[in-house]
Structure 1
Amino acid sequence: MERRSFVRQAGLAGVLAAGAAPAIVHAQAQVRWRLASSFPKPLDTLYGSAELMAKKLSEMSGGKFQISVHAGGELVPALGVVDAVQAATVEIAHTAPYYFFGKDETFALGTAIPFGMNSRQTTAWMVEGNGLKLMRDFYRNYNIVNFLGGNTGAQMGGWYRKQIKSVADIKGLKIRINGFAGRIIERMGGVPQQLPGGEIYSALEKGTIDAAEWVGPYDDQKLGFNKVAPNYYYPSWWEGGAQLDFFVNSKAYESLSSEYKTMLEAACAIAHIETQARYDTKNPAALKQLVASGTKLFRFPKDVMDAAFKESQALYADLSAKNPNWKKVYEDYATFRRDQNLWFRFAEGGFDDFMQAQKL
């Protein structure tokens, strides 16, 4: 599939949704798939991305291509969706690839890595760079074909029972954090914990963990983290733009007609765009509400950021020496990131710096 076809999907989707589908669409066979999500239903942003994709796909196909969406734990465990797609227990999943870094660290590059690219840069790498090709080559080992499935944008750094005043406060800290970023926390003396979204509140409330990161104000408020941890930190140096993916079983995908393949690609593209639009729209109001209710905002101290950056670069060097899959993808990722940061430093960064200092 040509990577540049992504940019044409919105136009195709509009034509199909408007009822101008070619006659051949109406001759297609009925298709019924099941989608296993890694997210709970209350998260209308994350779980809602899969619902949106399924809705658009149904509209494009005149109701002939249907996908039923199931929350984490309904069909398979929230963190068992890759195994389920690989084994064809379900045809498709919606998840954050870095959940599965334990299988291979390369999965993390499909979502976000510490001090990686922001959301726009990640989409550019996937669509116009080599990202989609490289990740598909990797996912082929797991019988998976991936499609972009949303991006949260830059995330917040999480909720803490006690303030983080220096890098010394990371030592011994039990924090729920995505597993790959947990490698950096561990190198800094912390104790990372990987928990699905639905289990974080109770762990934080009971004191099983000292801190937790999830996404950002809108989702975090829904999950109620501000009720059990008052200190809210930023930025999430480990997720400058966390991408979600739709993982499709390769045999199920190849069984589709070319028209259905195109519709699926277009529906995923719509979900990818609308997911971040939802976050960018909903986060500002949620942050205001959290602060009004007593949440205390803090920026991570510079020594924490510096230590995390140093340990991240050391980890990437170690992985490149030991994991050929990681090395192949990361080298291209790092080159693309370098050029992106050079560009963003001027026009994008200059504009943002000025505008965010204004009182409008």
Structure 2
Amino acid sequence: MKIFSGLSRKATYLMAAAALAVMAAPMSAKAEDRVSAVHAFPEFLVYTKTFLAMVADINERGKGIVQIDVRGGPEAIGMFEQPAAVRDGVVDMVHTPGSFYGANVPEIDAMVASRVTPMEARANGGAALMDKAHQERFNVRHLGWVDGGIKFHIYMNSEPKFRDDGILDLTGVKLRDNPIYHAFFEQLNATTASMPATEVYSALEKGVVDAAAWTEIGIPQLKWNEFLKYRVDPTFYNTDIGVIFNLDAWNALSPESQKLIQDVVIEWEGKSYADRQAEVAADAKTLADGGMSFVSHSAEAGETYRKMADDSAWARMYERIDGGGAGAETYMALRKAYALAE
């Protein structure tokens, strides 16, 4: 009986060990979440460098918890197709300007016309409102606003002309367009052509366009200054580059993964803001040293010019969300959070 009893105990131990192994296998496989990601712009642009550095930070701190696999940029999925790809779960995470999907989430225009920093928007509840709109309208989380605080100029290959009231006149100018600018450019009477940023160099070279709007930084990297010789001041709008994450994929992550990713993105809101501000003066010097002329509005006309841009963005959002009716509360809350300077 002792022999059989011993064998029984041994068999019990083996069965228990096997059961534990079976239970541990899925736990081990699930211990580290895997996230797929793409970015809108080519790798050489500073905005993509920010994203890749942020991903490297997450991966370093997320060993054993979560790892992000970057599949590439617009060569992997077209930049204008990326928002739909993350919404539909083709990829988990995308780094992209909100204006690329503004027709689906019109609240993004609050960031476009913002007079506050990303950090201020997070502190005053604006970031939470933006995330809520993204979840409800687009099946994604809006995790953060990175490289914020960078504004736009219009760059031209011929000397700018001005109306009698001192505002830029783009009559006859073939301007590269993008959804973020279109309403504003219409007011300036431009002839517009919409195209991805990756096609602009060729379009300038061939004369398809002779002007383009872009941020305060990045023109030298794109080499558009080989053709564009004038910069119109002052700046207008803000970069609205964010990190969005498929809502279903986000909910499937462990709480540890969610916290790590969100915490790091918030850290990079502040870090990237400071880093980009330091680069504005450097890029301006590069352009000036290369022969670009900076042409300014008068102080009064410049403020009117900026207000025209902001008002066009707010008006677009007002119409899209029914700001005078069902969307009035949202409109006013966003205006309060993102336009504090008014």
Range class of TM-score, shorter chain: 0.7 to 0.9
- Please list, as runs of the form range in 1=range in 2, the aligned pairs for 1:171-182 lying within 5 A after superposition: 171-182=171-182
* Distance in structure 2 (CA, Å) of the matches to 1:318 and 1:327: 14
Secondary structure of 1:272's partner? helix
Structure 1 segments unaligned to the other structure (5+ residues): 1-25, 343-360
TM score, norm. by length of structure 1? 0.76
Tell me: CA distance 1:112–1:77, structure 2 relative to 1, closer, same or farther (3 Å). same
* Distance in structure 1 (CA, Å) of the matches to 2:274 and 2:316: 36
Secondary structure of 2:236's partner? coil
* Distance in structure 2 (CA, Å) of the matches to 1:317 and 1:277: 30
Tell me: CA distance 1:98–1:332, structure 2 relative to 1, closer, same or farther (3 Å). same
Match of 2:240 among 243, 247, 260: 243
1:46 is the counterpart of 2:44: no
Aligned CA-pair RMSD = 2.7
Secondary structure of 2:180's partner? helix
1:133 is the counterpart of 2:128: yes
**Corresponding position of 2:143:** 147
Tell me: CA distance 1:312–1:65, structure 2 relative to 1, closer, same or farther (3 Å). closer
Secondary structure of 2:214's partner? coil
Structure 2 segments unaligned to the other structure (5+ residues): 1-27
Write out per-residue CA displacement over residues 22-66 of structure 1, whole angstroms, 9 at most, x where no aligned residue.
xxxx996122221111111111x2111221222111122225421
Match of 1:189, as an amino acid? N
Match of 1:139, as an amino acid? H
- Please list, as runs of the form range in 1=range in 2, the aligned pairs for 1:319-358 lying within 5 A after superposition: 319-321=317-319, 323-324=321-322, 327-337=328-338, 340-341=340-341
**Corresponding position of 2:250:** 253
Tell me: CA distance 1:32–1:315, structure 2 relative to 1, closer, same or farther (3 Å). closer
2:87–2:246: 8 Å Cα contact kept in structure 1?
A: yes
Match of 2:42, as an amino acid? P
Which stretch shows the higher mean deviation, 170-179 or 285-294?
A: 170-179
TM score, norm. by length of structure 2? 0.80
**Corresponding position of 2:270:** 273
**Corresponding position of 1:213:** 213
Tell me: CA distance 1:180–1:328, structure 2 relative to 1, closer, same or farther (3 Å). farther
Secondary structure of 2:175's partner? strand
Secondary structure of 2:235's partner? coil
* Distance in structure 2 (CA, Å) of the matches to 1:155 and 1:314: 16
Write out per-residue CA displacement over residues 315-360 of structure 1, whole angstroms, 9 at most, x where no aligned residue.
644752553376444322322355x327xxxxxxxxxxxxxxxxxx
1:179–1:193: 8 Å Cα contact kept in structure 2?
A: no
Deviation, 1:75, is 2.7
Tell me: CA distance 1:70–1:108, structure 2 relative to 1, closer, same or farther (3 Å). farther
Q: Number of aligned residue pairs: give it.
A: 307
1:221–1:286: 8 Å Cα contact kept in structure 2?
A: yes
1:92–1:248: 8 Å Cα contact kept in structure 2?
A: yes
